[in-house]
Amino acid sequence: MVGIPFGIVDLRACLESVAPVELKGMRLLEAQPHLIAGTARIPRADLVEAVTEIVAYTGRCAAAARQLASLPPVPLLTVSIPEYGL
């Protein structure tokens, strides 16, 4: 098979190049790890915003996963995958 070689190293590099999503809830936890224990006092509005953002992000991820799961397979006739001898 002649074409674009695409191996596990390339896939890893591609995935590593994707910037992480910045969520307020994660920033709060990084700044104040004791939030998990419930001993921190943060403004209610900040907590509501952070939780709402995480719930919405989780919903978007679930929707994207459902869409990806229902995609038909696409034959890659011009890509070689050395790890599989193709």
DSSP 14-67: HHHTSPPP--HHHHHHHH-GGGTTT-----HHHHHHHHHHHHHHHHHHHHHHHH
Number of domains in the chain: 1
The residues near 57 (Cβ < 8 Å, ≥ 6 apart) are 21, 23
Contact in structure between 1 and 76 (CB atoms under 8 Å): no
Q: Quick one: pLDDT at residue 15?
A: 87
pTM of the prediction? 0.60
pLDDT of residue 2: 54
pLDDT given for residue 58 in this prediction: 95
- Per-residue model confidence (pLDDT) at position 4: 65
Supply the pLDDT for residue 17: 94
Instruction: Split the chain (86 residues) into runs of 10 and give each run's mean pLDDT.
Output: 68 88 86 67 85 94 94 79 70
Structural domain of 45 = 4-71+78-84
